[in-house]
């Protein structure tokens, strides 16, 4: 009999805890919150892959880690077509091509960091991540005298620690929802098709400054997207500065 009383009381406590958890789950957004309450699941943070917007604004970006011989041609094509763009530069690339960094900046394009040494930053310690970001940002800012606002992780690899440290340094972590796949050595027409077929308002396009055939592909991409009414803007002009949420799929949404 004594055993039965203890068991009944335990069940009542468990039922009460379950009710509290369900209430929290409803308030926080459903089943994932409930699982987090029970299993202490850490909410996985997500970088910005695209932006929700009613405007037909898009951002084209060029990652630069190795090589520079196509960069000036890219600059000239963008400028001649009145297209804004963002270049994500690795610190060691900045060290090797400081004059090209100046040309990118003087041409009016935005420069973000792509790390210092291009490691998989999701495998680094917090101190190493901070060093990668601070070192690369300083190298860029010393040349441009402009604040670096955006960051793209090498290989697209990230974790909560990386995103939190980037945020603490006032860097927005940027991925992409349109991959040109230019790094695969595919033809210019394939690069153009990969981009044109997938772009939508708020898209972020991934290209590389030294990819095979990117120079040949760019004019076709620009002509096609402009004819569809798209407007190329800098990354920091596309993304929201504050008062936003990021969906589980990486879409940045302005809070109502």
Catalytic residues: 63, 208
Establish how many alpha carbons lie within 13 A of residue 181's alpha carbon, considering only the half-sphere containing its beta carbon: 14
Q: Please, what is the Cα angle at 112 between 110 and 115, to 5 degrees? A: 160
**String of DSSP letters for 54-107:** SS-EEEEEEEESS--TTHHHHHHHHHHTT---EEEE-HHHHHH-HHHHHHHHHT
Residues in the chain: 256
Report whether 231 contacts 201 (CB < 8 A): no
CA–CA dist 32, 50 (Å, integer): 23
């Amino acid at each position: 009999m004594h055993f039965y009383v203890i068991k009944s009381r335990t069940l009542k406590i468990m039922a009460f805890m379950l009710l509290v958890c369900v209430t929290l789950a409803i308030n926080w957004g459903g089943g994932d919150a409930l699982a987090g309450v029970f299993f202490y699941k850490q909410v996985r943070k997500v970088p910005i892959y695209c932006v929700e917007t009613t405007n037909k604004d898009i951002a084209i970006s060029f990652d630069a880690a190795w090589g520079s011989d196509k960069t000036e041609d890219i600059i000239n094509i963008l400028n001649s077509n009145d297209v804004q763009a963002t270049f994500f530069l690795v610190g060691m690339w900045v060290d090797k091509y400081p004059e090209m960094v100046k040309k990118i900046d003087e041409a009016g394009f935005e420069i973000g960091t792509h790390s210092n040494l291009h490691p998989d930053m999701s495998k680094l310690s917090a101190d190493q991540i901070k060093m990668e970001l601070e070192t690369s940002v300083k190298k860029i800012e010393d040349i441009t005298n402009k604040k670096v606002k955006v960051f793209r992780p090498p290989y697209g690899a990230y974790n909560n620690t990386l995103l939190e440290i980037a945020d603490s340094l006032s860097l927005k972590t940027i991925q992409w929802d349109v991959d040109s796949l230019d790094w695969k050595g595919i033809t210019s027409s394939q690069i153009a098709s990969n981009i044109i077929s997938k772009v939508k308002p708020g898209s972020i396009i991934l290209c590389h400054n030294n990819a095979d055939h990117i120079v040949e592909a760019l004019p076709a991409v620009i002509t096609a997207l402009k004819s569809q009414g798209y407007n190329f803007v800098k990354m920091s002009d596309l993304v929201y500065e504050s008062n936003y949420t990021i969906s589980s799929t990486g879409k940045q949404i302005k809070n109502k």
